[in-house]
Structure 1
């Protein structure tokens, strides 16, 4: 995952809450006649070429670059605020 801001290209409101979707493979063995589960191994992470990101607001999922490019198109700027309270 890159250290760059995200912005959801679907709902265009979320810049904060996201999930990274990963895939796991769990090897197992079954009996050929009864179909009973005989043995299971530990799940293994399947490496992806590109991270899949999901917006936690609208549940849209896409590749990481899409979220990064949307944030670059509509950058968030820091607005200086002067306090009127003293």
Structure 2
């Protein structure tokens, strides 16, 4: 994180954010109980299990609570620079 953020929702917060690192786990659950049946490494999940393709990082605004990918916060800050 080397660039400024600006919340695209509340449009005022430039300083308070929660950075959430995502660590997806490929699992198989029992359809009746929801209990964990097995857990896979990303390369052994099999042909019927789609690999996670989302972002590694999510950002939450510390003022309004908006949770988004990092890109909208970066882009909004770039389009509304501090004077």
Q: Indicate the residue corresponding to 1:56 in structure 2.
A: 62
Aligned residue for 1:4, secondary structure, equals coil
Higher relative contact order (CA 8 A, sep 6+): 2
Structure 2: stretches of 5+ with no match in the other structure: 26-53
Structure 1: stretches of 5+ with no match in the other structure: 26-47, 78-86
Distance 1:58 1:23, change over 3 A: farther
Within 1, Cα distance between the matches of 2:14 and 2:75? 12
Aligned residue for 1:19, secondary structure, equals strand
* Pairs within 5 Å for 1:15-26: 15-21=14-20, 22-23=22-23
TM-score normalized with structure 1 length? 0.57
| Greater Rg over alpha carbons, structure | 1
* Pairs within 5 Å for 1:1-86: 2-21=1-20, 22-23=22-23, 49-77=55-83
TM-score normalized with structure 2 length? 0.59
How far apart are 1:50 and its partner, in Å?
3.4
Within 2, Cα distance between the matches of 1:11 and 1:49? 23
